[in-house]
């Protein structure tokens, strides 16, 4: 059962929030990296995209919290399915969000910092994952009646999608159940919202644009039993 639902888009500090939630006792926390690490998870999400009824307890079996995509694409269903769970909406400046996703998640070409692929090129696992993200999940996120893919939208439309999502979450989720949160705020607001003590260590600020590719290469390597320089330990 999920106790905390992160509903912010990717590249809003979701990896940092994942680590923070696990440190606070709300782990394991589901993140898009889990889809890469576990071969049996992708079919769960493909089923969720096409099924009329999804057993969300089974999708998140073994997890106490969720952040990032693909979970946040189903935020309405999760908020309804787990009515006792608290909801965290990670946000950041829309223009800076777009700049970040453009050079990481949505990037292409040799001069970019992405997409996140295994070091020796496209493995079958990477092909399957990127096909799911681009061909199946990202079109769902463009929920404005005009269709298309979020990663192929121009800057204005992508930002409109981002802002619309954040506004809709705040309209639907009761204020006493929702924390609108910037990870730059650190432990304070998060711990107060979850009613837990503030840890003594620093808040885990991780996975900036410069480390994005290495993070995802490490996840693919973990699944394939390989070692990527700079990711071990």
Write out pLDDT tens, residues 39-71: 889 999 999 999 999 999 999 999 999 999 999
Residue 81: its pLDDT value, please? 98
In a domain, 17, yes or no: yes
pLDDT of 209: 61
* CATH number for position 65: 3.40.50.300
In a domain, 233, yes or no: no
Residue 142 lies in a domain: yes
Within a domain: 127: yes
Number of domains in the chain: 1
**Domain membership flag for residue 119:** yes
User: Tens digits of per-residue pLDDT, 198-222?
Assistant: 999 999 988 666 666 677 666 766 7
What is residue 225's predicted lDDT score, i.e. its pLDDT? 61
Could you tell me the residue range of the domain that residue 124 belongs to?
4-224
**Splitting the chain (233 residues) into consecutive groups of 10 residues, what average pLDDT does each group show?**
97 96 98 89 93 95 97 96 98 96 70 43 72 86 76 92 97 98 98 98 82 68 56 37
SS3 assignment, position 124: helix
8 A C-beta contact, residue 2 and residue 82: yes
The four Cα atoms 176, 65, 94, 77 give a dihedral, to 10 degrees, of -70
C-alpha to C-alpha distance for 157 and 163, rounded to whole angstroms? 10
């Amino acid at each position: 059962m999920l106790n905390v639902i992160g509903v912010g888009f990717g590249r809003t500090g979701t990896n940092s929030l994942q680590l923070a939630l696990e440190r606070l006792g709300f782990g394991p926390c589901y993140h898009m990296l889990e889809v890469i690490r576990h071969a049996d998870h992708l079919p769960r999400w493909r089923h969720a995209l096409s099924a009329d009824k999804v057993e969300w307890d089974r999708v998140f079996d073994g997890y106490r919290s969720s952040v990032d995509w693909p979970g946040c694409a189903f935020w309405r269903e999760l908020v309804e399915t787990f009515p006792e769970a608290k909801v965290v909406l990670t946000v950041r400046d829309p223009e800076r969000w777009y700049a970040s996703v453009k050079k990481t998640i949505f990037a292409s070409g040799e001069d970019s910092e992405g997409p996140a692929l295994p070091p020796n090129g496209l493995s079958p696992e990477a092909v399957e994952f990127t096909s799911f993200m681009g061909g199946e999940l990202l079109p769902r996120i463009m929920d404005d009646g005009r269709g298309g893919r979020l990663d192929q939208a121009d800057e204005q439309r992508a930002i409109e999608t981002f802002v619309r999502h954040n506004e809709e979450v705040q309209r639907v989720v009761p204020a006493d159940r929702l924390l609108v949160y910037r990870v730059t705020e650190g432990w304070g607001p998060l711990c107060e919202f979850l009613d837990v003590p503030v840890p003594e260590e620093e808040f885990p600020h991780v996975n900036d644009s410069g480390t994005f590719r290495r993070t995802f290469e490490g996840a693919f390597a973990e699944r394939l039993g390989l070692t990527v320089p700079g990711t071990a330990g």
